[in-house]
Amino acid sequence: MTDHMKNQTKHAIRAGHEAEETGSGPAAEETGTGQVAGAAGNLGAHIKRADQAIMARKAEALRGLDLTVPQCRVLGFLVGGAAKSCTQLSREALVTSQTMTGIVKNLEAKGLVERRTSPDHGRVVLVSLTPAGIETARRASVLSDTIERGVLDALSDGDHALLIRLLDRVAEAAPVAGIRLLTP
C-alpha cells in the first residue's frame, strides 16, 4: 500500500470517527425515531465496498502469478495435501459446481492441479496440487497476507479489534434480522 493510500484510508477512518462522535455526516441524519437515516440501507454496501477494494488489490497482485482470486482460493483450499472433489471445493468457495469445474480446469491447464478418480468412489474426481501448484499456492499466500497486513496497518490495534467484533455481531444478527417485520 502506498503512503498516499494509507493517508487516504486513515483520513476516511478519522472522518468516520468524527461523524460518529459528532453525529454529523451524510449517513447521520436523525429520523426522529432514534435511528440514523440511510445507515441501515448502506451497511451491506460498505461491507461489500471494503471487500471489493481488498479483492481488487489481491487480483492486481495475483496477475503476476497468472492467477485470479478464485483460483488462488482453490489453491489455498488444497494446501496441506488433502485431495478434494469439485463438490467439496465449490461448497468451500460458495460457488456452483459448474463454476468450480471451470476454475479447476483452468488450474489444471496451468499445471497447478491434477485430477484423478477417487479410489473409494469411481464416479468422484479428486483434485490435488501438483508440485508447481504447491509453490504457486505458497507465493500467492505470501502476496495475499502482505496485502491483508497492509490494510490492517491502516488501522490501530483497537480499531482492528473493534472492526472484528462489529463484523462478528453483524454476521450473528443477519440471520434473524427483520424477522419481527415478517411475522404478523
pLDDT digits (tens, 9 = 90+) for 7-35: 444 444 444 444 433 344 444 444 444 44
pLDDT digits (tens, 9 = 90+) for 95-114: 999 999 999 999 999 999 99
d(CA 93, CA 7): 33
pLDDT the model gives residue 120: 85
pLDDT the model gives residue 179: 72
Write the class of the CATH domain 44-167.
Answer: mainly alpha
What are 45-48's contacts with CB under 8 Å, separation 24+? 47/167, 47/170
Residues 6 or more apart in contact with residue 24 via CB below 8 angstroms: 18
Contact present, 67 and 140 (Cβ < 8 Å): yes
